[in-house]
Structures are given as structure tokens and as C-alpha cells.
Structure 1
Amino acid sequence: MNKLTWFDSLPEVWEATQETLYMVSISFLLTVIGGILLGVVLHVTSPSGLWPQRAVNGVLGAIVNIFRSLPFLILMIALIGVTRLVVGTAIGPTAAIVPLTIGAIPFYARVVESSLREVPVGRVEAAQAMGATNGQIVRKVLLPESVSSLVAGATLTVVLLVGYSAMAGVIGGGGLGDFAIVYGYQRFNTPVLLVAVVVLIVLVQILQSIGDGVVRALAHRR
């Protein structure tokens, strides 16, 4: 059997790229939503937050730290049962979305918490003096004031998800990581393996450039 050349592998590369984009886009959307919600709760329940709750903040902080400390490959394996329960299978691009999201939310939540902490206290105090509720302060002061930082953190998160999606190929998650393992590594086909690496690098560069462009545009509007 002839070894697959890098040119012959391009249709499979395109299909794998589509799977990677599917995994990353869905998990990124879920991560941003979950990360903002969790990050806001972590911030407002902190000792210096709008609604200090030491017990709640301590428990949530510990959970976030535990998930952040786990290597993603171990997290994927540990969540196989949960993934199968949620989507009905533990392999494939759709199944990979579950550990991707769970693995990335704690990371982005800390980014959100840090961004909200950087908002000047004077802005918050001014809103309180005008009678704004805690919810209004979060929606109209904290989040708008930290939007540039949140977008920059989201860019880091989407790049992280691309790397995670490649690792998902180890357990049959599909995408470019799975392609690199099946068509490149297992068949000792270095050129095909390098094609997957190059596509991943290009994808990361594109996403990083888009994120940086959005951050610059937001900075110019301020």
C-alpha cells in the first residue's frame, strides 16, 4: 500500500479542519457564557465585592482551581462518563465539546474575575451613590468598563481551545489532532503530520489576529 502524500491528504485535512472549527466555535461560545457568569459570581462574592460571601467564594474558587490544575488529557478521560451521558457518545467532535467547555470555563472565569477587579473603584462607588443596584452595576459599569480586557482574555481562551481540541484527538475526538495521529503518527508519515501542524499554526495566528484587532478597535473607541 502506497504511503499517503501530503497533497493526497488535503481532502481529509479540510474535513478535519471543519471538525476542529466546529468543536472550537461551540465550546468557545459556551465557555464565554459560562466563564462570564462564573467570573462575575467570583468577583461579587469576594471580600471586596458587591455581595461578599466568604463561603460561596471559597467553594467556587476551590472548584475552579481544581479544574484548572488538571491536565486536559486527564480531564477528558475523567469526563468520559459525563460526556456519554450528555451527548450519548464519548468519541467524535460533538463529544469533545463537553470536556473542552468544562476545561476552558474555569480558565476564562479567572480572566473575567481579574478583568472586573481592574475596574476603578470610583466608578462603582459613583454608581452606588446614584442608587444603582448590584445587578445594574455589573451590567452597566463592571462589564462595559472591562470589555477590552474580556475580549483579550477571550482571544487567549480560543487559542487554548484550539490546543485542547488537538489533544482531544488522542481519545478519538476528531479534528486535526485525530487526523495527525491517525494519518501521520500511526503511519509514520511525517509530511502528513506536518500538514496538520501547519494548519493548526495558521488557525491560531488567524484567531489571534482577529482578537487583537477587536481589542485595538475597542481601545480606539474609548
Structure 2
Amino acid sequence: MSAPRPIWLTRPLADNVAMAAELERLGIATISAPLLHIESTPVSLPTTPPSALLITSRYAATALPDAWKNVAVYAVGAATAEAVSARGYAHVTVGDGELMDLLPRIAEEMHRTSLLYLSGEDIALDVVGLLAAKQVQVDRVIAYRATAATELVPELRDALHAGALGGVVFFSKRTAAIARLLLASADLTAAAARVDAYCLSLAVASDAAQIPWRKLHVAHRPTREAMVEMLRLHGAN
């Protein structure tokens, strides 16, 4: 019987390392080829604590100051909330992993007040505009930069050429878009027809669908745990 084909992990390196170890325990081989590289940026925070904070990535949590630990925090999902709690913040509201699902609660609870949004340099949603329409003032501070990869690593190119790649994981619309560009530049778009794509959400899958993958899979919840479970069920085949 032939060995299971590996799964391409596209997340930043630290996330890939943790996920690869978990998948290895499930008997799923992986190729770590990050499509985003994270770097912190200089952060200038106001001297007065905000009424509340919005954090949409665990990478932004590193910018949280010790002096604000009593400030309420809205975290987009469980992984982000865990990173916020690790900084000593006790009042954390946890979303289900989809920012659009969290915004109505913020709009209701923060009506006619303000909050500080710690984000990456590139964002998918105009949070400032969406909440301003609900009479919530948002001040955005960029806490990190996610730089796109510029080429596919040799191990991944070889696997695609040989039809030896079993799947790819996408946790964001941006990584799906980067994959499309890099596959095209390497003349490997057609090779995707032999690869399954595993997506965090329907929104991510809509971008991933611009590549002719063999099959698209969508996690039943937009969480890392649901992605691992989906790979356990399908990715080792």
C-alpha cells in the first residue's frame, strides 16, 4: 500500500510546527511551507486605557500592555483568547472564530462608546467603518505585519510535480490568494487538480475555489480544532 500523501501547511512557521506535531500523532504527514511570515511592528498606544479592546489574532496579543489587564477584551476566537489570557487579561469575550459574527455583539455592548482595535497591517474587513455605522468609535493600531511568501519551497514544488501532495490547509482568504499567485508563477496551477483543499470557513473556501482543487472541504466550525478533526477524517486518505 502506498504511503499517505502529505498535507501542505500554509500558516506562519510557529503555527505550522504545532499543527504538524498534532497531525503527526494522527498519522498524517505534512509539508511546512508558510505563505505568511509574521513580524512585529513598533506600537504606539494611548496613555489612557480604552473602554475595551478588540483582538483578531494572537499575534496582536503581544502588544497588550501589562497596565491594561483590567480592560475588557473581545477576542475573535479561542486561540486568540488563549493568547490574551496568557498576558494576564481576565475579562475576555470569546467569539466563534468569525469576526463578522462577533461585530453585532460589540455593536450592541459598545454602542455610543469606543474601543481600541489591535490588528495586523493587512485586514480583510473594514472594522472601523462597520462599527462606526453602529455608533461605535474604533481606533485602530497596527501591531504586526504578515508578509507574503514570494515562492514555493522546493519540497512543495517537487511534491506537486510528482502528484505526491494530498492536501492543503487554508486558514484565511489571504493565504488562499497567495497560493493562487504562487502556483500560477510556478506553472503548477493544473497540479492542484490532484490536491484537496481544507478551508477554515465558507468565506475562505470562496477564495480557495479560484484554484481548481480536486475537492474543497470546509470545517464545521471556524476553529483550529475543527480543522484538525476534518483532516483526521479525510486528510490521511
TM-score, normalised to structure 2's length? 0.24
Structure richer in helix, relative to its length? 1
Structure richer in strand, relative to its length? 2
TM-score, normalised to structure 1's length? 0.25
Structure having the higher Rg: 1
Higher RCO (C-alpha 8 Å, min separation 6): 1
